[in-house]
Amino acid sequence: MTSTATSLIKSEAKRLGFSHTGISSACFLEQEAPRLEKWLKNNMHGNMSYMERNFDKRLDPRLLVDGAKSVVSFVLNYFPEAKQIDPEAPKISRYAYGKDYHQVIKEKLFQLLNFIRENIGEVNGRAFVDSAPVLDKAWAQKSGLGWIGKNSNLINPKNGSYFFIAELILDIELEPDLPITDYCGTCTKCIDACPTQAIIKPYVVDGSKCISYFTIELKDAFPESLKNNFDDWVFGCDVCQEVCPWNRFSKPTQEPAFHPREGLLEMSKSDWHEITEDVFNKVFKDSAVQRTGFEGLKRNLEFLKNQ
């Protein structure tokens, strides 16, 4: 039954559009515990206080789902076929070109959970998409979906790193997959290219120095010391992915919801700096950019303008 259930889940996940599926046995993440503790102790989470909460749950999925036996990890490619047209326009991370991934992936996971219950039996489980205390990259790596690179992104040898990660934590035994080798080698392109030197050493990113943190998470004013270091990023940052050699294998997403929204890539530098709240709400309806809000985006644009 274990083998049959595993095949059924992976087959249905592929039908729903997930790029890859991997499975791990639910257990305490022993290796990650001291790393997470040290990262938090050194305040590398900045003002993201939510990272301090539920420490035990982040490390043990059995505290999130009673009787949990398996963590099923999924990746979904979001790499766009096109880029922003105006080279001088403020830049947003590619993951925000289309519809908010939380909505898109949650719907797929609920469909998959229903499928599991209809075809395998009474299964207790929960779906997670980057909004709960789950170390998604650690589980994805553990289940063989890639290795965690020096820029702390999950890298798949066939598809690079432009994808979202999600999980189902289930109370049934499934066949676990094996981790794969780390192929970063001696490469330091991501470390060398980071505009704010947020990758303080291989495999360690100081979140409080990352452009994505400043443009999305931080609600306060930007430190003056960052002037001229934002490389025109106004929401998120893709620099460490753009320079990663493994992303030469990235393929355009087949998920229609992640295709760039109409008019976004055509926005010029002046369009961005003159954006009104009405235009913002129209262009970024159901977008991850709503996370920073109109006022947050205006603050980011103002900071770029004054550099």
Catalytic residues: 130
Could you identify the residue written with the tokens 């170390």? Answer: 135
Burial pattern 89-128, b for ≥16 Cβ within 10 A else e, equals bbbbbbbbbbbbbeebbbebbeebbebbeeebeeeebbbb
Instruction: Kindly give, in sequence order, each residue whose CB lies less than 8 Å from that of residue 307, ignoring residues fewer than 6 positions away.
Output: 227, 228, 230
| CA atoms in the 13 A half-sphere facing the CB of 102 | 9
Q: Nearest Cα to 6, choosing from 176, 236, 144, 156?
A: 176
Burial class (CB in 10 A: 0-12, 13-18, 19+), 270: exposed
With contact defined as beta carbons under 8 Å apart, do 171 and 68 qualify?
yes
Helix (H/G/I), strand (E/B), else coil: 241: helix
Helix (H/G/I), strand (E/B), else coil: 84: coil
With contact defined as beta carbons under 8 Å apart, do 120 and 8 qualify?
yes
With contact defined as beta carbons under 8 Å apart, do 148 and 241 qualify?
no
Helix (H/G/I), strand (E/B), else coil: 135: coil
User: Rounded to an integer, what is the distance from CA 251 to the centroid of its chain?
Assistant: 17
Spatial distance between the Cα atoms of 218 and 216, rounded to a whole number of angstroms: 6
